[in-house]
Amino acid sequence: MNTSISNHPSAIQWVNQLPSASVLLDKDCTLIDASNSWFQEFGLNRDSTLKKPFLQLFPRLDESWQDSFEYALEGLKDIKMVDKYVDDQQHTKTFLWHINPWMDGYGKAVGIILNVKNLTQDTALELEVKNSPALLTEKWESSFGSWEYNVKDNTVYWSKELKALFGVPKTYEPSLKKSILLFGTNPEGKSLKHYLDAAITTGQPWSVNLPLAEKNRAGDLMHIIGRPKFKNGNCTRIIGTIRKAQKHSPKKPLLSPNTNKPRTDTLVLLEDVPASIGAIALKTGKIIGANHALLDLLGLAKKDVVAKHLEDFLWFTKEERIQWYRSIKTNSSFQGLQKEVFHKQIGQKLILRFSGKVIGQNLVVSCEDVTSFHLKEAATEAQLALANEELKRITDFTHMASHNLKAHATNFDLLLNFLQNEKSETERANLLKILFQSAENLATSIKGLRELVTIRQQMDSQKKLVDLSDVIYRCLQNNNGLVKTYNAKVHNEVLDGYHIQAIPVYLESIVSNLLVNAIKFKNEQERPIVFISVEETKTHDVLLIEDNGVGMDLEKQKDKLFALYKTLQNMDNASGASLYLVKYQIELLGGKILVESKIGKGSVFRLFFPKNR
């Protein structure tokens, strides 16, 4: 509830004594207070209704009421809403609600004031018809009457003016069948029943001329307008008007009457302007004109545009409607409204930018095609995304290179420590041999990394068949110091000569990283044991690396598993880079990695390499 209102109850006590049915709502549309007559009219108890949301008290009211409240809080005055319902005694009641902003001394809306009046059926229908956007296209130059069809009850109501128009007594009781039989068919062969059925099933309003079928008035044209009303997605009522049709509707001449001077009407002057321009009547919200350039831009004919609402072509969010209204109300204009429109003739979407200015009683709107600008902007963003992706690749490559070189450096450090402490000449000679082999492997790795710089942009063409058993052998040699330190046992079950499709330096990095992890993160109570094997499917070679290490809780740590610089539980010395690089490299090769693991039971890594042979 609005604090300033709730803290000053004396400021609103006057509403209790009002003779009219009046209500005060705060900015949250909560009931602050109401007149005694209002509580009596709707049979509500004051104590049980105060401080409750207004729409909660009247669940029959639809979401359009909330929109009207929001417009009132924006400053719009005298919004009229009709509330029609059937009470417990099956009596139809109709109320007219006037919605206005409640302003403080500084002209700021602090709530909403509602005034309500009980209407007769004639007055209610006439008001609804006149306020209905679908019935505002005509200026009635002859008498007319209102009608209503209740779909649920299958009942028809005629106003007294309509009964007078047809010359029937005031006591006449119309029915749907009688109403339909009054009229014949139009030149298209369509009857009143056709339009009623279309309104109920598709929600299509109509405005047509139909001839009378009565013998003594056969051929006389009557202009019939109908608009369906929906509730919960179903058509519940149809309201409309009937009047005598005008036999002639002369077009407004381009020359003013009795002069040779051209008309200065805004729409006529703008007709051939190269800019795309149209006009909307502020009172009805309907398009009253569109010049040739605008019609060409939209790919539509004038008959498809004029007398239609802008929202028949463009969809607006509620926020956009409020922003648009506020801009027009405050500045008498709006700028830069962008919308997508499908152009049927060229079969593609256009991005249009709309701007408008109030001139007289109309809103003159200009439209600009900004599709090419957005395409260029999208192309620039795509190039930027590619540049960012390339930067990411370079960064990842740097991580991979440093990680691989670190493994070689660690191996050299361990082997040199062994060499320094070893007394046996035979063992020292063996260690020197391993050192020389490790140095050769380091040179090979550096060469591979250099080659990798030039081939990252042509992944598929640079893959080749690689002997998997040779790669495993080199990885064991490169990490021989680690194997000796942890007294690890590695079972290589891959047969000599088994080839898979890969980039050699990537494959060696994948195997080496998983092998090092399997040994380093060992179970403290067991000697580290690693099994390396391979399986074959129709589409993939599957490399399996299984260990008896500490294992992982995949349910709790699945988000960290392949993340860079994330430390997993039980692996305090891990940087997270190795698994990140393994996943990154296998995916670059078009494959994937799957993991099975349990804490204290070890892990199984399955690497899927596409065959592509």
Half-sphere exposure of residue 563, counting CA atoms within 13 Å on the CB side? 9
CATH topology classification for 126-244 = Beta-Lactamase (3.30.450)
Task: State the average pLDDT for the chain.
Answer: 78
Which CA distances in Å does 512 have to 29, 281, 405?
67, 75, 11
Who contacts 569 (Cβ-Cβ below 8 Å, separation ≥6)? 552, 553, 556, 557, 599
pLDDT at 9: 45
CB 528 within 8 A of CB 517: no
- H runs (alpha helix) in 9-120: 36-42, 46-49, 54-57, 63-73
| Nearest residue to 74 (alpha-carbon basis) of 41, 38, 108, 32 | 108
Pairing outcome for strands 31-34 and 21-26: antiparallel
Structure confidence at residue 231 (pLDDT): 73
Q: pLDDT at position 143, please? A: 65
| Cβ atoms of 374 and 340 closer than 8 Å | no
- As given in the structure block, the two tokens for residue 356 are 């408008």
What is the number of alpha carbons within 13 Å of residue 161 lying toward its C-beta?
16
**Token pair recorded at residue 70:** 């929001």
Residue 116: phi and psi, rounded to 5, are -130, 145
- Assigned CATH class of 379-610: alpha beta
Instruction: State the CB neighbour count (10 A cutoff) for residue 267.
Output: 17
Question: Which CATH code for domain 266-369?
Answer: 3.30.450.20
Residue among 518, 505, 571 at smallest CA distance from 544: 518
Distance CA 374, CA 355 (A): 18
Strands 529-536 and 489-492: parallel
Give the integer Cα–Cα distance in Å for 358 and 163: 41
Interior angle at CA 595, CA 589 and CA 601, nearest 5: 145
Instruction: Identify whether the C-beta of residue 333 lies closer than 8 Å to the C-beta of residue 356.
Output: yes
Beta bridge partners of 206: 226
Distance of CA 519 to CAs 93, 309, 421, 581, 602, Å?
84, 73, 23, 18, 11
Give per-residue pLDDT as tens, 47-94.
899 999 999 999 888 877 887 888 788 777 778 888 887 877 777 788
Using CA atoms, how far residue 602 sits from 221, 319, 472, 598, in Å, is 90, 56, 20, 6
Distance CA(328)–CA(551), nearest Å, equals: 66
CA distances from 48 to 11, 43, 588 (A): 21, 12, 67
Distances (CA, A) of 149 to 56, 237, 240, 405, 604: 29, 6, 9, 85, 73
Rounded Cα distance between 468 and 517, Å, is: 19
Contact 249, 243 (CB under 8 A): no
Distance of CA 240 to the CA centre of its chain: 36
pLDDT at 547: 93
Q: Which CATH number fits domain 3-117: 3.30.450.20, 3.40.50.880, 2.40.110.10, 3.40.50.300?
A: 3.30.450.20
CA distance 395 to 415: 31
Place of tokens 């956007």: 133
The Cα angle at residue 319 between residues 318 and 323, in degrees rounded to 5: 120
User: In sequence order, what are the beta bridge partners of 277?
Assistant: 366
How many Å is the maximal CA-CA distance in the chain? 132
Tokens 């080749």 -> residue: 464
User: What's residue 468's pLDDT?
Assistant: 95
Residues forming CATH 3.30.565.10 domain(s) in the chain = 379-610
Return the pLDDT at 491: 93
Check residue 13 and give its pLDDT.
Answer: 59
Per the CB < 8 A criterion, the answer to whether 364 and 356 are in contact is yes
Q: How many Å apart are CA 430 and CA 350, to the nearest integer?
A: 75
| Confidence (pLDDT) at 141 | 42
Collapsing DSSP to helix, strand or coil, 495 comes out as coil
CB atoms within 10 A of CB 198: 16
In this prediction, the residues of the chain whose per-residue pLDDT falls under 50 are 1-11, 133-142, 248-265, 455, 457-458, 460-461, 565-566, 572-575
First to last CA, the chain: 71
Domain with CATH 3.30.450.20 in the chain: 3-117, 126-244, 266-369
DSSP H or E run through 505: helix 504-520
Q: Give the pLDDT confidence of 83-131 residue by residue, as tens digits.
A: 887 877 777 788 888 888 888 767 788 889 888 888 765 555 555 555 5
Continuous H helices in 422-503: 425-455, 459-462, 468-478, 480-485
pTM for the full predicted model: 0.34
pLDDT in the model for residue 136:
38
Strand order in the sheet with 287-290: 287-290, 276-281, 362-369, 348-359, 333-343
pLDDT in tens, 474-499: 999 888 888 888 899 999 999 999 99
Alpha helix stretches (DSSP H) within 182-307: 192-202, 266-270, 292-298
Three-class SS of 521-590: CCCCCCCCEEEEEEEECCCEEEEEEEECCCCCCHHHHCCCCCCCCCCCCCCCCCCCHHHHHHHHHHHHCC
Q: 366 burial class (0-12, 13-18, 19+ CB within 10 angstroms)?
A: middle
Q: What does the DSSP 8-state code read for residue 242? A: E
Closest to 569 in 3D by CA, of 585, 549, 584, 583: 549
